[in-house]
Amino acid sequence: MGLDRTDVAVIGAGPVGCVAAIALARRGARVTLLEANPVGKRLAGEWLHPAAVDLLRDLDVPLPPTARRESAQGFIVFPEDGSEPIELPYPDGRSGVTCEHHVLVGWLRYVAGTLPGLEVRAGVQVTHIDEQTLHYGQNQLTAPLIVGADGRGSVARRSLGLADRREAVSMMASVRLTDVHLPYEGFGHVCLGAPGPVVITRIAPDAVRVCLDVPSTGDADFRKPQTLIHRYESALPASLRPAFRAAISTNKIEWAANQRRSRRHFGRPGLTLVGDAAGHCHPLTATGMTTGFLDAEQLAKSHSFKQYRKHRQARSLGPELLVEGLYRLFTRTDPASRALRQSVYSTWRRNAAECTRTMRLLSGDDVGLLSFGRSFLMAVGGATSLRGSAGLASWFGWLGKSVFPRVARHGVSFL
């Protein structure tokens, strides 16, 4: 049985655990990074917003050689009525990055392993934690700071006695198309009009990822290739449909569960949660990794757990509301939601400042609730047919139910 000590033990070398370990090691801590699994080709994040790219640069972490800045300049929304697509570029000419998930994680693990003071232990499954000691196999590791970066099913979170609180939202079905041309190269494409949004991104010079949001209706039919083609194909740009049909028909479909868990708990002094272990949302706005990297950065900077928690709680609600609100807006088919959607399209089309605000909210550059509230009221104001309707009341009901308990719990600032 081995017993050893380190300054910081990070559980999980996913994207966020690697960045947390690197950020803490850069500040002079002796860090041990423990990972259970080899890098596998699983369906997960492949888009980083500009804030995450800046953060990697500040940590002196080069981007993976195959990462693509030119493919992440913003998003194009294709409305369900076939009207002109709407361009939402990142403000100030900034750009994010796309990169295949296993390539990004493999690269971050490699960079972590080259840093002095940072030891990566692979093939290590942490089973439980007592106070400041974590256990794996016959071994123990003690550290004054343990970081739970072990994803949605976090053992660190479990050891805190927290209820799981994961809610199923929907499923994600994905196919990889090769040798196709996107109508707007350089942008992520968000296509509406199917049972859930379809998000398309270029992840390699010859490869494009198509992600279909599939409702969790319990209807097994939805998992059948023919149903996916029938229900989703018409929402895709016409030029991609033959390749889409071929990929789905040959059943090269990857699946992942879309879940959410509000970021309420960040651990305790000596055991801190970061990334998906702290909370996660539907991947529509591609914020999971950027949010996690910002957790990692703040953890390395904070002088106390309290400071870390206060900072991250205050900055989690805005992005959570945006993704919940957009997902609701893009999937509901009642008349009020349809009118609200048209109002949002028309605001984006004529108001460049509102596009900028949306993209600043989306990319985590602006996390203020006031900005979200202003955008929400502008959309409501534009949907004149809705005034006084029950459908509109349901949207205000959602907003009230989402915001006030969280604000009351955490005292989150509106600015």
What's the CA dihedral at 54, 57, 62, 63 to 10 degrees? 0
Class of residue 159 by CB neighbours under 10 A (exposed 0-12, middle 13-18, buried 19+) = buried
CA 154/CA 266 separation, integer angstroms: 12
Contact call for residue 253 and ligand FAD (CB under 6 A): no
User: Measured from the CB atom, is 139 or 389 closer to ligand FAD?
Assistant: 139
User: Which residues, 313 to 332, sit near ligand FAD by CB under 6 A?
Assistant: none
Rg (the chain; Cα; Å): 21
Selected binder of ligand FAD within 8, 9, 10, 15 (CB under 6 A): 15
Tokens of 153: 């099913």
Question: Of 15-23, 223-231, 302-310, 342-350, which part binds ligand FAD (CB under 6 A)?
Answer: 15-23
User: Which residues, 139 to 158, sit near ligand FAD by CB under 6 A?
Assistant: 149-151, 155
Kindly tell me the number of DSSP H helices and DSSP E strands found in the chain. 13, 19
User: Measured from the CB atom, is 175 or 379 closer to ligand FAD?
Assistant: 175
User: Measured from the CB atom, is 157 or 338 closer to ligand FAD?
Assistant: 157
Residue 213: closest CA among 151, 180, 260: 260
Contact call for residue 267 and ligand FAD (CB under 6 A): no
Residues 349-378, one symbol each (x = binds ligand FAD by CB under 6 A, - = not), give: ------------------------------
End-to-end CA distance of the chain: 52
Could you give the count of Cα atoms lying within 13 Å of 24 in the half-sphere of its Cβ?
Answer: 29
Amino acid identity at 386: L
Which residue matches tokens 């106070």? Answer: 131
Class of residue 215 by CB neighbours under 10 A (exposed 0-12, middle 13-18, buried 19+) = middle
Selected binder of ligand FAD within 16, 51, 200, 235 (CB under 6 A): 16
Selected binder of ligand FAD within 13, 99, 299, 367 (CB under 6 A): 13
Question: Of 224-232, 273-281, 301-309, 349-357, which part binds ligand FAD (CB under 6 A)?
Answer: 273-281
CA 199/CA 13 separation, integer angstroms: 27
Helix (H/G/I), strand (E/B), else coil: 99: coil
User: Measured from the CB atom, is 287 or 337 closer to ligand FAD?
Assistant: 287
Selected binder of ligand FAD within 50, 64, 267, 283 (CB under 6 A): 283
Which residue matches tokens 């305790």? Answer: 268
Selected binder of ligand FAD within 12, 89, 91, 267 (CB under 6 A): 12
Tokens of 213: 């949001």
Number of residues that bind ligand FAD (CB under 6 A): 37
Amino acid identity at 225: P
What's the closest the beta carbon of residue 35 comes to ligand FAD, in angstroms? 5
Alpha helices for 31-100 (secondary structure H) = 50-58
Which DSSP string corresponds to 349-395? HH-HHHHHHHHHHHTTS---HHHHHHHHHHHHHH-GGGTT-HHHHHH
What's the closest the beta carbon of residue 346 comes to ligand FAD, in angstroms? 27
Selected binder of ligand FAD within 256, 314, 378, 403 (CB under 6 A): 256
User: Measured from the CB atom, is 103 or 211 closer to ligand FAD?
Assistant: 211
CA 313/CA 265 separation, integer angstroms: 8
Selected binder of ligand FAD within 95, 290, 337, 363 (CB under 6 A): 290
For CA atoms 192, 315, 8, 154, give the dihedral sign: negative
User: Which residues, 156 to 175, sit near ligand FAD by CB under 6 A?
Assistant: 172
Contact call for residue 307 and ligand FAD (CB under 6 A): no
Contact call for residue 37 and ligand FAD (CB under 6 A): yes
Find the largest Cα–Cα distance for the chain.
70
Selected binder of ligand FAD within 26, 43, 102, 302 (CB under 6 A): 43
Helix (H/G/I), strand (E/B), else coil: 182: coil
Residues 89-128, one symbol each (x = binds ligand FAD by CB under 6 A, - = not), give: -----------------------------------xxx--
Which residue matches tokens 């490869």? Answer: 207
Question: Of 13-21, 262-270, 360-368, 391-399, which part binds ligand FAD (CB under 6 A)?
Answer: 13-21
User: Measured from the CB atom, is 42 or 230 closer to ligand FAD?
Assistant: 42
Binding site for ligand FAD (CB under 6 A): 11-17, 34-37, 43-47, 124-126, 149-151, 155, 172, 211, 256, 275-277, 280, 283, 286-290, 292
